[in-house]
Amino acid sequence: TTFACRRGCKSGERSVWMLEADIRSVKKSQWSRSGGGRWSGDVTLNMKLRYALIFLTALAIVTYHHVQKEFFGPRLETMVIYENYYANERDPEVSCQFPILHPFDESILPHVKIAKPIRCFARNKILTMIDENGYLKYNKSGLVEGGYDIDSPPSCYFQEIFRAPKSDFDVIYSNPTLMKGCDQLQSDFVFVECYNFAGISIYQNFHASVQRNQSVRKFKNDVELSVAVIGLDSMSRLNFMRQLPLSYRYITDVMEGVVLLGFNKVGENTFPNLVPMLTGRPSAWGAYYHYENWPFVWKQFADEGAATMYSEDLPQFNMFDYLSTGLQHQPTVHYMRTFWLAVEKSLLYRMSSTFCLGARPKHVIYFHYLLSFLRVYRNSPAFLFSLFNEASHDYVNTVGAIDQDLRDFLNASVTEGLFNRTVVLILGDHGNRIDPIRLTDVGRIE
């Protein structure tokens, strides 16, 4: 067989030669170029037909998906049971009455969707945990699922996280400590990192669980009550009914909660609405940069020896820190801002899926922390103030993804008797201020 050299190669360089027979085969092929530099007519037609078929197939798949979703998929207005209990209970003597709006008024239906589930993707299972007694331990089920030996787990080190003195924007980590498998913690928040035999990091995680403060006393008598305020940012009553039907039904049917109508906000955003609630004063009562002397209600509880908690996520938008200098001193015994500050500065957070921290949705971590507070202080007076922001702040539909977990949190609290001596308030600070639903009359009233 003879060889021919490609253009540009030197004689004798066999590595770039090609068989002469292959050259003849290519010339005879229908894929050879014609004199004008274009593909032959048959080939051009075949290629066009192939591309057209691919395009039409993709178009058919997309069309089928949207038709199935819009016309045959489940819709919230058919999934939520709505009964207008209050239509005939209005006082005719009251001249100024709030309009009674239907949560599925026709004008807002184009803006109402079923929330997509939150899916967290992580390369590792959850290898560590904090048990019900507040001890840091290895998670045996996670070790088994991850292929580790329970009796010989990977080497893990933990660092407790504390709020920096006189700073609402910094945190302090303790020195790394080797996990022994049952480690008692001093802080509510801890960071864990595990390494393989080569010293390479194979696992990172953050945990949040309340550690009891020994200065908190027990109930003095059978009359004392605790208070739990559980808030969702930008959440109207009607959107709560639409997007959180499981939780709404649990509150009204199982907890026998009283639904308050006609909430009248006193400001545009969170700060001017919640400051009057927490202080009894208008939001412009004092200088925005000197909160230390404000008469917050949690101070009165603390003075009586009660446990106190103030919890928000999204630290960059927290009530006293957005466009402000923040709180100089930690306002309550348990303060979750410290946890989220550490989380959002971590590599784990930057590598996590939306609404997730590693393998866990952030709202699940949030509800677990609230639940640990109620469990630890079940026999003590307590004041809990919580405002969860991320799932509901920007859009009216995304909050539906937390419905089952919110319902589970409420159910656990009721089943374990954690609300037996607690006044529970579930509320929003105002309605949605950003979503396109505000283009409708009903959306603006919400």
Q: Residue 333 belongs to a domain with what CATH number?
A: 3.40.720.10
- Taking residue 408's Cβ as centre, other Cβ atoms within 10 Å add up to 16
- In the chain the first and final C-alpha atoms are separated, in Å, by 84
Give me the helix-helix angle, 362-376 and 403-415, nearest 10°: 10
Whether residues 361 and 281 share a domain: the answer is yes
Reference 406, options 248, 256, 255; nearest CA is 248
| Same domain, yes or no: 250 and 397 | yes
Classify residue 275: in a domain, yes or no: yes
pLDDT category at 297 given cuts 50, 70, 90 is: very high
Q: What is the structure's pLDDT at 282?
A: 81
Q: Which of 129-138, 339-348, 432-441 has the lowest mean pLDDT?
A: 432-441
pLDDT at 335: 97
65 assigned to some structural domain: no
Q: Which domain holds residue 166?
A: 128-208
**pLDDT reading at 321 higher than 90:** no
Asked whether residue 346 falls in the same domain as residue 372, the answer is yes
- Given the DSSP bridges, would you call strands 171-173 and 201-208 parallel, antiparallel or unpaired? unpaired
**pLDDT on residue 76:** 57
In a domain, 84, yes or no: no
Q: How confident is the model at residue 28 (pLDDT cuts 50, 70, 90)?
A: very low
State residue 52's pLDDT score. 86
Binning pLDDT at 50, 70 and 90, where does residue 45 land?
Answer: confident
- At 73-110, the pLDDT tens digits run 555 555 555 555 555 666 778 777 777 788 888 888 88
Burial 283-308 (b: 16+ CB within 10 A, else e): beebeeeebeebebbbbebbeeebbb
Which pLDDT band, with edges at 50, 70 and 90, does 285 fall under?
low
**Cβ distance 113 to 76 under 8 Å?**
yes
Same domain, 152 and 234: no
Q: Look at residue 258 and give its three-state secondary structure.
A: coil
pLDDT number for residue 63:
81
Lowest mean pLDDT among 200-214, 257-271, 280-294, 337-351: 280-294
Mean pLDDT calculated for residue range 133-161: 93
40 band by pLDDT with thresholds 50, 70 and 90: low
The one-letter amino acid code at 104 reads F
User: Do residues 182 and 302 both lie within one domain?
Assistant: no
Position with higher pLDDT, 240 vs 87:
240
Judge whether 144 lies within some domain: yes
Q: Which two tokens stand for residue 132?
A: 């019900």
Annotate 339-369 with DSSP letters as a single string: HHHHHHTSHHHHTSPTTEETTEEHHHHHHHH
Tell whether 291 is covered by a domain: yes
One domain for residues 305 and 396 = yes
Show the tokens assigned to 375.
């469990």
Q: How many helices (H) and strands (E) does the chain have?
A: 13, 17
334 vs 273, residue with greater confidence: 334
The larger pLDDT score, comparing residue 439 to residue 336, is at 336
Dihedral of the CA atoms 136, 138, 139, 144 (nearest 10)? 180
pLDDT of residue 387: 96
What is the per-residue burial (b if ≥16 Cβ within 10 Å, else e) of 231-258? bbbbbbbbbbbbbbbbbbebbeeeeeee
Verify that 246 and 193 share a domain, yes or no.
no
Q: What percent of the chain has pLDDT over 90?
A: 54
From 208, 239, 263, give the residue that closes a domain: 208
Task: Compare 52 and 423 and report the one with higher pLDDT.
Answer: 423
The alpha carbon of residue 206 and the mean position of all alpha carbons in its chain are separated, in whole angstroms, by 15
> Are residues 154 and 267 located together in one domain of the fold?
no
pLDDT at 21: 46
- Name the CA dihedral angle for 245, 246, 248, 250, rounded to a multiple of 10 degrees: 160
The rounded radius of gyration (Å) of the Cα atoms in the chain is 31
- pLDDT confidence bin for 369, thresholds 50/70/90: very high
Final residue in a domain of this structure, among 159, 182, 208: 208
Same domain, 143 and 265: no
133 and 231 in a single domain? The answer is no
Number of domains in the chain: 2
Single out the residue in 138, 173, 208 at which a domain terminates: 208
Whether pTM > 0.85 for this model: the answer is: no
Of the candidates 260, 233, 153, 209, the one whose C-alpha atom is nearest the C-alpha of residue 394 is 233
Instruction: Label residue 309 by pLDDT band (50, 70, 90).
Output: very high
User: Is residue 230 included in any domain, yes or no?
Assistant: yes
- SS3 category, 270: helix
DSSP state of 251: I
Distance CA 237, CA 292 (A): 33
- Which region among 39-48, 68-77, 287-296 has the lowest average model confidence (pLDDT)? 68-77
Cα dihedral 131→133→135→137 (10° resolution): -30
User: Greater confidence, 30 or 322?
Assistant: 322
CA distance 148 to 278: 49
Do 313 and 391 have their domain in common? yes
pLDDT, greater one: 29 or 396: 396
Residue 360: is its pLDDT beyond 70? yes
More confident residue, 328 or 89: 328
What is the average per-residue pLDDT within 126-134?
Answer: 94
Residue with tokens 């940069």: 289
**Same domain, yes or no: 187 and 286:** no
Tokens of residue 313, six digits:
């996520």
Q: b/e string for 100-125 if b means 16 or more Cβ within 10 A?
A: ebebbbeebeebbbbbeebebebeeb
Does residue 383 form part of some domain? Answer: yes
Averaged pLDDT for residues 128-151: 93
Q: How far is CA 267 from CA 230, 264, 276, 426, 445, in A?
A: 20, 9, 10, 19, 14
* 116 is a domain residue: no
CA angle 322, 326, 327 (to 5 degrees): 145
Look at residue 73 in the predicted model and tell me its pLDDT. 53
